[in-house]
Amino acid sequence: MIFRSKVDFVFITSIFLVVLIMGTIPLLPLYKEASISILIILSAIYLISAGFLLWYVISIRYVICKDYLVIKGGPFKSKIPYQNITKVSLTTESLTGYRISSSDKGIELFYESARHGSIKILPKNKRVFVSELRKRCPNAQIQGFE
């Protein structure tokens, strides 16, 4: 079962505009004196960076497999065995974890092998996602979804 991440396109657009402005203003003096090849290289670096960020944000998905949960975003992938999930709760922290969103309540998964103790996700249909986790993680504490 695959769940897509909620994406806030207004927020993403504003991030890209800020990156564009912050990336071009310091280089304005260079644009006047640089050769066309340097301008092409700088533009290519910016476009590749912006494309990578966009690819990461739009491709975030959560795949519920038989024995584990897979969280994918761009080239990054996390595989979490269900027996390692200890707690599932709501979180209001934004701009963290496998999501880029400016609002809304996400889900925080606590599991044993997490680098920072937990991972924050934001699936489009949270209730169905949590009900699927309940079926597969009977020992996990699931809070705030009653």
C-alpha to C-alpha distance for 81 and 69, rounded to whole angstroms: 6
Inter-CA distances, 28 with 22, 39, 108, 112, 114, Å:
11, 11, 42, 48, 43
Sign of the torsion angle spanned by Cα atoms 123, 128, 133, 138: positive
Domains with residue ranges and CATH for the chain: 1-146 (2.30.29.30)
The per-residue pLDDT for range 120-129, each reduced to its tens digit, is: 888 888 899 9
Q: What's the average model confidence in pLDDT over 107-114?
A: 86
pLDDT band of 26, cuts 50, 70, 90: confident
Find where tokens 């999930």 sit: 85
**In this model, does residue 146 exceed pLDDT 70?**
no
**Full-model pTM:** 0.79
